[in-house]
Amino acid sequence: MTLDEMIAKTQALAEIVGPNVYLQAMLIATAFVAVGKIADWIVSGIIGRFARRSSNDFDDQLVELVHRPIFLSFALIGLGLATRRLGLTDAPTFITIGILKTIAIFVWYSTVMRLMALVVETFNRTSTKKVVKTGMLSLLHIVMKIVTLALAGYFLFLAWKIDVTAWLASAGIVGLALSFAAKDTLSNLFAGVSIIMDAPYKVGDFIILESGERGVVTDIGLRSTRILTRDDIEITVPNGIIGNGKIINEAGGPPSQHRIRVAVGVAYGSDIDQVIEVLAGAADSLPEILKTPEPRVRFRVFGQSSLDFELLGWIAKPVDRGRITHELNCAVYKALNENKIVIPFPQRDLYIKSMPTG
């Protein structure tokens, strides 16, 4: 049913009470208020039945949220039809209808914004999905709020019969100018969206950038990422740089453990079985070295002046790598000295072919 058909049928029903247009207008407004109340009861009752079956309070809050705009929508429609029934001149009718439409737009704009906030809050509480952990849900919430605000503005223009063509053309020109002026900022924003969606790292991960910066990720924003170094210095890196570079995530993958390596060279003639036992014992002496997976020793290569071994062990957090490597080096050196295992160093012999004369 079109608006004109609705107006015609409403007027026909209103004329039953008599020729007084003010009485007819009052009847129309009262009837729509009553219909709005009935619609509110029906919708609230349907949602309420589902709410009693659910285990969370989302449905209860949804009932509280929707009953007001449903009732007000019918009431505003009734007031609009009543205004048209009064048969006022064009200017008062246009202003009154415009005000009623504006109220309806603000009521539904507020309702949609609160509904989106309710959905995001409920999803954050109950979901463990990747979209929540990476911050993608917050990004979608921001985008939806911007779109809702733009639609509300568009409907306001329509309510007051303002031609939006010129506004859209102006907005396009302004947007083009701003895109050139804020090229770097937009590059960082798009890279931030890519990082949030692709999730190469998350807050709490220990990462190493291609430019050499390394530390724990403390915040991932749309424009930049913040990294806390081992010197307790926070570095803010634009997302455009991170998005176009190589990132080493030492906390990535299914496990959160990190493996450290210590290269050790011993003299030729050493008992390699003893060396393997001593190195493994040095790793076992440190409580920070995990027992699962257990430390292991590998004989890697015959060096120029040493037999080269490598001691490998796992630690719980990548951020502790520097300190535990230091402690493991100290333990290895002490264990080799206690067991009389020589750590060689390169030696060079100098031969003098002839001595210079007087």
- What pLDDT, on a 0 to 100 scale, did the predictor assign at position 17? 60
How far is CA 223 from each of CA 32, 137, 175, 206, rounded to the nearest angstrom? 50, 17, 19, 20
Residue type, 7: I
The residue type at 251:
A
Structural tokens at position 217: 């990720």
87: its two tokens? 């048969």
What pLDDT does residue 127 have?
62
Tokens found for residue 86: 């009064």
Task: State residue 86's pLDDT score.
Answer: 86
Protein fold of 199-249: SH3 type barrels. (2.30.30)
Q: At CB < 8 A and 24+ separation, what contacts does 123-130 make?
A: 126/56, 130/199
Fold of 258-338: Alpha-Beta Plaits (3.30.70)
Closest CA to 82 of 28, 30, 35: 28
Q: Residue 279: what pLDDT?
A: 97
The tokens for 64 are 């509280």
Residue type, position 4, single letter: D
pLDDT of residue 128: 56
Q: What is the pLDDT of residue 286?
A: 95
Q: Which residues of the chain register pLDDT less than 70?
A: 1-19, 48, 50-56, 127-136, 139, 178-179, 181-182, 254-256, 358
DSSP 86-105: HT--HHHHHHHHHHHHHHHH
Peptide bond into 255 cis (omega under 30): no
- Model pTM score: 0.60
The pLDDT score that the predictor gives to residue 14 is 61
- Alpha-carbon span 122 to 116, nearest angstrom: 10
How far apart, in whole angstroms, are the C-alpha atoms of residue 256 and residue 247?
17
Kind of pairing between the strands at 234-238 and 296-302: unpaired
Residue pair 332/282 in contact (Cβ under 8 Å)? The answer is yes
- Residue-wise pLDDT for 110-141, tens only, equals 999 999 988 888 877 776 555 554 456 776 78
Tokens encoding 196: 């949030």
Q: Label each residue of 45-59 as H, E or C.
A: HHHHHHHHHCCCCHH
Spatial CA neighbour of 286 closest among 343, 229, 334, 340 = 334
